[in-house]
């Protein structure tokens, strides 16, 4: 299906065959810099605009748009051409606007604590479907500009490698977002981290660690059985060696599961070896994993333990909880949407025994 945001410029040139060369530039500028639809590009003759609009239908259809945090967080459920659904979140802060995009409809990695993982995999997204999420969010925050994009929505970006790389390039080179403000978050696909270090060495890498011993990580992140910690650590060293850039470890603090001092000691050891910064976020409970996140004092204790080992750690604020837009809560796989009532039931259910 042709798309206005096909990262291959040849796609647009083919549509403009027979037109003067400057029309290609006008269309490119209108789509990628001004983020307009073809029909809005009044610099083009009306007949051409109409033809382009018909030839390049939007890749995303809004199913729902929910707003919270006093208008600063917006979540969209978008339907794709085949009715697969994905979610995108825009978060406006004082100094930046961050868009969280999905790389797949669903996810095949099956992390037990993640709503997307619980819902299963539907398909990979095409690069244009990733890029259009940023464009849609960018249009909605105008006149502000999107400064940061994080691949932390639904799906595992490094399992959809080619589309992820094409998206990173297009967002940087054609939309103009700085590469270090593009963050790829991965559950730890070790060989793909090593490829990313070659193909996109200037982007930011976040590795979702959550456990620093194989026995525990095997239960939380099934991919750990394929790429256990030692293999993942090799990939992290490779990233450092070829990019010279510091990565971060994401750690969702789960009450009584990975928030004990022993866990902090194990995490500190690996974080020091690979010089990673640690981002801590209390787990958001999901229907399939109703354990609660670590309460605030425990989160602070864990952060202090890491810092006592010389590891930098940041406690991340959660956005979008009321609209199910928080980390790990995205689950809009067609047919897999969890009914609201059962979520509420889960939120009030007792904490799992230790
Ligand atoms: N698949 C990639 C990116 C999408 S998930 C990855 O796993 O990194 C984005 C982030 O949300 C990851 O750090 C993931 O571990 C985290 N996450 C998943 N479920 C969560 C939950 N219930 N609470 C808090 N964070 C969660
Ligand atoms: Fe997939 Fe990431 Fe969720 Fe794991 S945490 S199931 S890799 S989206």
Q: Greatest CA span in the chain, whole angstroms?
A: 70
Describe the chain by its helix, strand, coil percentages, rounded to 5: 40, 20, 40
Tell me how far apart the alpha carbons of residues 120 and 286 are, in angstroms, rounded to a whole number.
14
Helices (H), 57-126: 115-119
CA distances from 279 to 160, 311, 312, 327 (A): 24, 11, 9, 13
Average pLDDT over residues 118-144: 97
Q: Which of 104, 157, 167, 208 to probe ligand 1 with, by most ligand atoms within 8 A of CB?
A: 208
Pairing of strands 121-124, 104-106: antiparallel
Count the Cβ atoms, other than its own, within 10 Å of residue 1.
12
Atom 10, ligand 1: residue with shortest CA distance? 152
User: Above 90 in pLDDT, residue 155?
Assistant: yes
Active site residues: 87, 327
Q: Where are the domains of the chain?
A: 9-55, 61-350
Side-chain half-sphere of 59: how many Cα atoms within 13 Å?
Answer: 19
| DSSP-derived 3-state class of residue 137 | helix
Determine the distance separating the centroid of ligand 2 and the alpha carbon of 328, expressed in angstroms.
8
The confidence band for 333, taking pLDDT boundaries of 50, 70 and 90, is low
Report the top-level CATH class of 61-350.
alpha beta
Could you report the per-residue pLDDT of 159-214, keeping only the tens digit for each? 999 999 999 999 999 999 999 999 999 999 999 999 999 999 999 999 999 999 99
Contact in structure between 101 and 130 (CB atoms under 8 Å): yes
Mean predicted confidence (pLDDT) in 117-126: 96
- Please identify, by atom number, the ligand 1 atom nearest to the C-alpha of residue 250: 13
Query: Can you read off the two tokens belonging to residue 287?
Result: 């229907």
The candidate with the shortest Cα–Cα distance to 259, out of 313, 310, 305, is 305
């Amino acid at each position: 299906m042709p798309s206005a945001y096909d990262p291959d410029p040849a796609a647009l040139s083919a549509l403009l065959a027979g037109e003067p060369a400057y029309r290609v530039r006008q269309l490119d500028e209108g789509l990628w810099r001004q983020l307009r639809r073809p029909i809005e590009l009044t610099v083009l003759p009306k007949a051409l605009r109409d033809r382009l609009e018909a030839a390049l239908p939007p890749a995303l259809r809004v199913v729902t748009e929910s707003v919270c945090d006093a208008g600063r967080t917006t979540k969209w459920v978008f339907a794709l051409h085949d009715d697969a659904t994905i979610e995108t979140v825009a978060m406006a802060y004082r100094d930046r606007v961050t868009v969280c995009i999905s790389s797949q409809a669903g996810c095949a990695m099956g992390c037990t604590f993640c709503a997307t993982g619980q819902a299963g995999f539907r398909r990979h997204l095409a690069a244009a479907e990733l890029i259009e999420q940023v464009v849609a969010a960018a249009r909605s925050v105008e006149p502000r500009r999107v400064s940061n994009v994080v691949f932390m929505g639904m799906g595992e970006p490094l399992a959809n490698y080619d589309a992820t790389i094409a998206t990173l390039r297009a967002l940087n080179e054609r939309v103009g977002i700085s590469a270090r403000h593009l963050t790829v978050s991965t559950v730890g696909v070790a060989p793909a981290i090593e490829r990313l270090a070659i193909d996109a060495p200037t982007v930011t890498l976040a590795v979702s660690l959550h456990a620093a011993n194989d026995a525990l990580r095997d239960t939380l992140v099934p991919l750990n059985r394929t790429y256990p910690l030692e293999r993942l650590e090799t990939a992290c060293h490779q990233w450092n060696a070829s990019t010279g850039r510091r990565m971060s470890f994401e750690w969702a603090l789960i009450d009584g599961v990975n928030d004990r001092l022993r866990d902090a000691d194990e995490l500190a050891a690996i974080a020091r070896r690979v010089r990673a910064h640690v981002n801590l976020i209390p787990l958001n409970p999901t229907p399939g994993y109703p354990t609660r996140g670590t309460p605030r004092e425990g989160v602070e204790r864990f952060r202090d333990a890491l810092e006592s080992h010389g590891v930098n750690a940041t406690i991340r604020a959660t956005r979008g909880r009321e609209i199910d837009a928080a980390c790990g809560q995205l689950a809009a796989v067609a047919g897999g949407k969890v009914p609201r009532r059962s979520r509420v039931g889960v939120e009030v259910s007792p904490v799992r025994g230790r």
